[in-house]
Amino acid sequence: MIPVPGFEDQRVAILGLGRSGLSAARALREGGAIPVCWDDNPAARDKAEAEGFAVADLSKPHALDGMATLVVSPGIPHLFPAPNPVVAHAWAAGVPVDNDIGLFFRALANSGWEEFDMLPRVVAVTGSNGKSTTSALLHHILKSSGRESQLAGNIGRGVLDIDPPGDGGVVVLELSSYQTDLARALTPDVAVFTNLSPDHLDRHGGYGGYFAAKRRLFAEGGPDRAVIGVDEDPGCFLANQLSEGPTDDRVIRISSGQKPHGPGWQVVARKGFLTEWRKGRQLAAIDLRPVRGLPGAHNHQNACAAYAAARALTVAPRQIETAFHSFQGLPHRSERVAESGGVSYVNDSKATNVDSAAKALLAFRNIRWICGGLQKEGGLEGLRDGLANVTKAYVIGRDAAGFALQLPDTETEVCTDMATAVSRAMAEARPGDTVLLAPAAASFDQYDNFEQRGIDFATRVRAALGQS
């Protein structure tokens, strides 16, 4: 646990008692604060009370009187589409609003650090797609090279639940826009921006607000090094803003598909090869094609991001290459769940938007594509390039027929449910085909989350193959 100092004998309000809220309450109490907790869910309140925390309805008048700060869980809106009433009350009462990420950065350094030969470092990874894989891959690289590393934030443990890092230890954080938008302190040593595509737009008041939430990690965080994906305009803009000139190696530009150019520090992946460039010279190269845990151009971009962050932490290229080959990938992200009769079965349930699904479609050939669900804004136009690899689409979801109508040039079958889609795709698959779940839609019309959807797919495939 990372104790949170600075609130000794002061009352601190905690709104939302999920993983981040409860860990914040524990860390604040460990630091000497008096947490006062609230959640609309009675079961969550009961759990907090069982741990000895005071519980009080923070929405009532004057409930925030005397509070030193209000700590808000990431799922609770604090501005768009409308602020939670408790947050609005905090504004009116002059109570600062923060989240567990802000508390973490305030609390991380401790008095024992002066005894260390090498100070601990924090790497924070954000972006629309690939941040989980990038974070997990970087953590794997560090562990494989003998470095102390902890994975936390949106993946792994809650940020305040981790152990205080030791001499030269690294904390790798995956941070969502919900987390970076509100945190009052953001001071990573290395910050990574993978890419940007439309997502969570209602929560941020539009695309510009979404980018602004991501940008805070760099503009307000002031990292020593920034790793920036420059395959889209937002990344190019951000890299330009952070750089003082062409040779400024505080910015490492990464790309999947572009040729390296200029004297700056660059890590690029083209035609299956990752190369590192600095001052116009190639320093290292890695063949990514045999790396089974990182299939496709989108994962090659993730490899570039993790490679660049690891190099910023002085990990040698050959150590990184060795770690690439032992990386198994993450569940529900281009996860190979089975192979049989020359057919591969891949679970990419995390492809909840069009951009991530399009990248999955470009990673494979002869695809039997299971898609559909709760569709997000913008339609399916962004899938156009990847559809050339689709042999047939098997559409699930409550509005499966409407989804299928948006694929006029692709053979489709309206299946509605996963059981039917898996059965039909497996019956029609031929050697060389890939049965791919990459929904291009959220899961909430039929599942609690994308993980549950991916598990359903994998379970049905394995059962049909007699592997359950």
Q: Which residue positions form the known binding site?
A: 127-133
317: cis peptide before it, omega within 30°?
no
Question: What's the order of all strands across the beta sheet hosting 54-55?
Answer: 54-55, 34-38, 11-15, 67-72, 97-98
Task: Report whether 153 contacts 131 (CB < 8 A).
Answer: no
- Give, as one character, the DSSP assignment of residue 383: G
Annotated binding site for ATP: 127-133
The answer to whether residues 16 and 99 touch, using CB atoms and an 8 Å cutoff, is no
By C-alpha distance, which of 180, 13, 185 is closest to 87? Answer: 13
Contact present, 235 and 286 (Cβ < 8 Å): no
Give the C-alpha separation, 163 to 23, whole Å.
Answer: 12
Alpha helices in 166-220 (DSSP H): 177-182, 201-204, 207-219
Residue 169: both structure tokens together = 């230890």
Q: How many angstroms separate the Cα of 11 from the Cα of each of 50, 72, 401?
A: 19, 15, 53
CA dist 401 and 412 (Å) reads 10
Structural tokens at position 433: 């085909």
Instruction: State how far the Cα of 3 lies from the Cα of 26, in Å rounded to an integer.
Output: 8
Asked if 397 and 372 count as a contact pair (C-beta separation under 8 A), the reply is: yes
Half-sphere exposure of 302 (CA within 13 A, CB side): 31
CA 247 to chain centre: 30
Calpha distance 288→149 (Å, rounded): 24
Number of H helices, E strands in the chain: 15, 20
